[in-house]
């Protein structure tokens, strides 16, 4: 069929018609709010490269969570900034550290909130790498014990989901076995299965003060040129016991998300990372783009590509707009 019989514009003629035939929708309950938890008390610190995002101490979290819940957000992911760092990242295993303390408080005060924890030692090590080091090499196998211990500390504090973001081989298996052995067979593993060595993590490292002190992360994070490797990574993590798979970053890797959605039947998560957020915020501040529209368009495109859930620093802002739109 062709013009003039076929007229696609018929279905675009009014807001109600467009809404009726809309193929993809965003809902606040699919958005996960990342939170940076710092040590100490009464702290709310600005992050220069991430406008409107803050580092909070545990005692300053409740109003943040109340605001998120009232906008319809039901899940958060926690990143910790410890007081002390050392070569082996030992503060990552401290049950009194910022993340386990925040988990206990959140599960006590807001039992309905889904609490996810990032499991990775880069924020806890002096060298800033995601694995333990031997000289200038990242040592895969000795890191596994550390990661599974960290996941167990989070599970014991009450985390619903642990999310390893280190990209060591075999970590999902190590974590699953450790959790199961310790009575936490219901704790969910969200694997950062497909995590690229990306320039878009820049502002996050600024926020967490966690950049690598030597070299870069390319010996463990994926080469942005690779696609097949993503499927191998994902298949291995499923085999090892992952419950949810993540692709990270989101917008530059929508092709990977799309392919993953077609290949695997696990829930798929996308992380719209700090640099994606900062880019939109910066251009919006200059008046070069409309921040809210660019935000919604990028989030919707991530859903359209196949993500079931999205980690985004825009979570609350987007949820509020969605509430107005519906
Ligand atoms: C590692 C980790 C990083 C991010 C999440 N977990 C940084 C990195 O791998 O360098 C980045 C998230 C973002 O940029 O928003 N613990």
Q: Which domains does the chain have, with CATH numbers?
A: 26-325 (3.20.20.70)
Mean pLDDT value across residues 66-85 = 97
Q: Is 36 in the pocket of ligand 1 (CB under 6 A)?
A: no
Cβ contact 158:114 at 8 Å: no
Q: Where are the beta strands (DSSP E) in 165-315?
A: 188-195, 244-248, 268-272, 309-312
pLDDT beyond 70 at 326: no
pLDDT confidence tier of residue 325, bands split at 50, 70 and 90: confident
Closest CA to 189 of 209, 171, 206: 171
What's the mean pLDDT in 314-324?
Answer: 96
Indicate whether residue 125 lines ligand 1 (CB < 6 A). no
Distance from the CA of 95 to the center of ligand 1, in angstroms? 22
- In the chain, the N- to C-terminal Cα span, in Å, equals 34
Substitution site in 151, 167, 204, 246 for ligand 1 pocket (most atoms within 8 Å of beta carbon): 204
Q: What does pTM read for this prediction?
A: 0.97
Residue-wise pLDDT tens digits, 29-63: 999 999 999 999 999 999 999 999 999 999 999 99
Instruction: Give CA–CA dist 255/257, Å, rounded.
Output: 5
pLDDT digits (tens, 9 = 90+) for 172-225: 999 999 999 999 999 999 999 999 999 999 999 989 988 899 999 999 999 999
Q: CA-based angle 93:94:97, to the nearest 5?
A: 120
Q: How far is the CA of 34 from the centre of ligand 1 (A)?
A: 11
Q: Which two tokens stand for residue 53?
A: 């995002």
Residue-level pLDDT at 67: 98
Measured in Å, residue 249 CA sits from the centre of ligand 1 at 9
Let me know: does 153 contact 209? Beta carbons within 8 Å. Answer: no
Ligand 1 atom showing the smallest separation from residue 120 Cα = 16
- Based on the number of CB atoms within 10 Å of its own CB, is 18 exposed (0-12), middle (13-18) or buried (19 or more)? exposed
Tokens 């009464």 sit on residue: 42
Beta bridge partners of 75: 32, 114
Q: Is the shortest distance between the CB of 272 and ligand 1 below 6 Å?
A: no
Structural tokens at position 315: 């979570």
The residues annotated as belonging to the active site are: 195, 248
Classify residue 169 by its DSSP letter.
Answer: T
């Amino acid at each position: 069929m062709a013009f003039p019989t076929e007229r696609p514009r018929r279905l675009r003629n009014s807001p109600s018609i467009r809404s009726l035939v809309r193929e993809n929708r965003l809902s606040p309950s699919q958005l996960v709010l990342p939170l940076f938890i710092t040590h100490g008390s009464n702290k709310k610190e600005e992050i220069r490269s991430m406008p409107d995002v803050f580092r909070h101490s545990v005692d300053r979290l409740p109003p943040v969570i109340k605001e998120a819940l009232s906008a319809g957000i039901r899940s958060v992911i926690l990143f910790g900034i410890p007081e002390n760092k050392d070569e082996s990242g030992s503060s990552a295993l401290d049950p009194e550290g910022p993340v386990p303390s925040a988990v206990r408080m959140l599960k006590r005060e807001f039992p309905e909130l889904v609490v996810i924890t990032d499991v990775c030692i880069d924020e806890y090590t002096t060298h800033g790498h995601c694995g333990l080091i031997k000289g200038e090499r990242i040592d895969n196998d000795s890191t596994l014990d550390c990661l599974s211990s960290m996941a167990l500390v989070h599970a014991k504090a009450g985390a619903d989901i642990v999310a390893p973001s280190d990209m060591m081989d075999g970590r999902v298996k190590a974590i699953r076995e450790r959790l199961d052995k310790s009575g936490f067979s219901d704790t969910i593993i969200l694997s950062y299965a497909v995590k690229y060595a990306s320039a878009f993590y820049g502002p996050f490292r600024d926020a967490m003060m966690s950049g690598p002190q030597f070299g870069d992360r390319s010996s463990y994070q994926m080469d942005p040129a690779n696609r097949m490797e993503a499927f191998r990574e994902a298949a291995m993590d499923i085999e090892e016991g992952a419950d949810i798979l993540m692709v990270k970053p989101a917008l530059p890797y929508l092709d990977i998300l799309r392919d993953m959605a077609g290949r695997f039947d696990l829930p798929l998560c996308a992380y719209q990372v700090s640099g994606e957020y900062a880019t939109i915020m910066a251009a919006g501040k200059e008046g070069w783009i409309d921040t809210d529209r660019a935000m919604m368009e990028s989030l919707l495109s991530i859903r359209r590509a196949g993500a079931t859930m999205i980690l985004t620093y825009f979570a609350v802002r987007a949820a509020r707009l969605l509430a107005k739109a519906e």
